[in-house]
């Protein structure tokens, strides 16, 4: 399908969650980051708006194109937040035409930057105007694997951590709302040590818990020792895959390995629920990549398409300068 067929692609807003889910049905590459309930809940935390576009080709519904837009005055950025795989779900032959149509949509919205992500199960071709790059994630295969199979695939150090955590009474339980305040505090401490601010603002995890707790494709676990919460993990599922989206631990309990016991418990629960894979959702640095590989995960690439809109680059630079100036004025006040 050529890009010049973009005139045969059109977008309409999904009328409801059911409308969105019907358009997603049948795509085995759909991820947790295509879920209507999740995107609706997380968008306000990122100061963004979820725009649920349903894709039509020659008047036939063929998929979806989720947009998270964040406004900066009259301009916006699209899908530039910290969510992987956030991109169109359409038949492979329609990807070029859909991306071309999304470029037109981005221009209409005055986007100064525009990203489209694909899952590890997509192989999109190069498309004019988009810069293609490959990032990576780490996936543990679960289908037809026993506990012993999963343990054998791990580094001996990870196996030792799990056994020790079990022996000292570190258990995994259903998380409660108060656990996510701890998660916020631990993340703030972790990022502050690097001179950074957390990717997700305080309150994000609690909001997701309130929105998705009790749904069959969302699990929230807390690692506890003697009644004290020392680790928390949020998992989201779609298309028979579980995505270990976010986790955090109390660093004073790091020697007890709460992170490893949470991952191990998640893998077992996901397998027993019929999931084929556990996606550990990327790695921002080599240390985390090594940790995930030693859990028995396999490295897989996924494609990111980026299109900075040329005519708005100066506007974006101006907005950045304006925001810096505003922050300095606030500090002086």
Secondary structure in 3-state letters for 155-202: CHHHHHHHHHHHHCCCEEEECCCCHHHHHHHHHHHHHHCCCCCCCCCC
Which pLDDT score is estimated for 284? 87
Is 128 within 8 Å of 3 (Cβ atoms)?
Answer: yes
Tally of CB atoms within 10 A around 191: 13
- If pLDDT is split at 50, 70 and 90, which confidence band does 109 have? very high
88-107: average pLDDT: 96
Q: pLDDT at residue 302 above 80?
A: yes
* Lateral strand order in the sheet of 131-141: 9-13, 49-57, 60-72, 75-78, 111-117, 298-306, 131-141, 277-279, 241-249, 228-238, 218-225, 171-174
Q: Which of 74, 104, 262, 79 is nearest to 179 (CA)?
A: 262
197-212: average pLDDT: 96
What residue segments make up the domains of the chain, in order of their start? 3-130+307-332, 138-301
231-251: per-residue pLDDT in tens?
A: 999 999 999 999 999 999 999
Is 165 within 8 Å of 255 (Cβ atoms)?
Answer: no
Is 109 within 8 Å of 73 (Cβ atoms)?
Answer: no
Q: pLDDT at residue 328 above 50?
A: no
| Pairing mode, strands 228-238 and 218-225 | antiparallel
- If pLDDT is split at 50, 70 and 90, which confidence band does 4 have? low
Yes or no: domain 138-301 corresponds to CATH 3.60.40.10: no
Q: Which of 220, 249, 227 is nearest to 169 (CA)?
A: 227
Which pLDDT score is estimated for 333? 38
Q: pLDDT at residue 329 above 50?
A: no
Residue 100 CA to its chain's centroid (Å): 24
> Rounded to two decimals, what is the model's pTM?
0.91
Q: Could you say which architecture CATH assigns to the domain 3-130+307-332?
A: 3-Layer(aba) Sandwich (3.40)
Which pLDDT score is estimated for 308? 83
Tally of CB atoms within 10 A around 252: 9
b/e map 197-214, b = 16+ CB within 10 Å: ebebebebbbbbbeebee
Which pLDDT score is estimated for 319? 58
Q: pLDDT at residue 297 above 70?
A: yes
124-170: per-residue pLDDT in tens?
A: 999 989 999 999 999 999 999 999 999 999 999 999 999 999 999 99
Which pLDDT score is estimated for 314? 52
253-288: per-residue pLDDT in tens?
A: 999 999 999 999 999 999 999 999 999 999 989 999
Q: Which of 215, 233, 216 is nearest to 224 (CA)?
A: 233
Averaged confidence pLDDT in the chain: 92
- If pLDDT is split at 50, 70 and 90, which confidence band does 312 have? low
12-19: average pLDDT: 97
- If pLDDT is split at 50, 70 and 90, which confidence band does 81 have? confident
Q: How is 227-270 classified by DSSP, letter by letter?
A: TEEEEEEEEEEETTEEEEEEEEE-GGGGGG-HHHHHHHHHHHHH
The label of the residue with tokens 């192989």 reads 123
| 3-state SS, residue 278 | strand
d(CA 224, CA 230): 6
Fold match flag (3-130+307-332 vs 138-301): yes
Q: pLDDT at residue 1 above 70?
A: no
The label of the residue with tokens 């859990």 reads 295
């Amino acid at each position: 399908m050529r890009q010049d067929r973009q005139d045969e692609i059109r977008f309409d807003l999904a009328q409801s969650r059911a409308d969105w889910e019907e358009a997603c049905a049948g795509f085995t590459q759909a991820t947790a980051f295509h879920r209507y309930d999740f995107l609706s809940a997380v968008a306000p935390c990122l100061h963004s708006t979820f725009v649920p576009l349903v894709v039509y080709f020659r008047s036939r519904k063929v998929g979806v194109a989720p947009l998270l837009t964040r406004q900066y005055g009259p301009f916006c950025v699209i899908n530039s937040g910290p969510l992987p795989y956030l991109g169109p779900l359409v038949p492979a032959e329609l990807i070029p035409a859909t991306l071309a149509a999304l470029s037109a949509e981005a221009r209409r919205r005055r986007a100064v930057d525009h990203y489209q992500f694909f899952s590890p199960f997509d192989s999109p071709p190069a498309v004019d105007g988009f810069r293609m790059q490959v990032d990576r994630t780490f996936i543990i295969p679960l289908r037809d694997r026993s506990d012993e199979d999963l343990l054998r695939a791990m580094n001996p150090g990870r196996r030792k951590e799990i056994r020790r955590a079990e022996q000292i009474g570190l258990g995994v339980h259903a998380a409660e709302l108060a656990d996510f305040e701890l998660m916020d505090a631990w993340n703030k401490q972790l990022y502050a040590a690097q001179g950074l601010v957390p990717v997700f603002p305080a309150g994000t995890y609690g909001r997701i818990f309130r929105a998705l707790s009790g749904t069959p494709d969302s699990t929230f676990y807390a690692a506890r020792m003697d009644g004290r919460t020392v680790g928390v993990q949020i998992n989201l599922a779609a298309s028979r895959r579980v995505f270990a989206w976010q986790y955090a631990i109390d660093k004073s309990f790091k020697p007890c390995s709460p992170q490893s016991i949470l991952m191990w418990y998640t893998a077992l629960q996901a397998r027993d629920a019929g999931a084929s894979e556990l996606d550990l959702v990327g790695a921002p640095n080599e240390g985390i990549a090594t940790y995930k590989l030693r859990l028995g995960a396999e490295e897989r690439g996924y494609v990111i398409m980026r299109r900075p809109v040329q005519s708005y680059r100066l506007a974006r630079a101006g907005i950045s300068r304006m925001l810096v100036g505003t922050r300095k004025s606030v500090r002086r006040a």
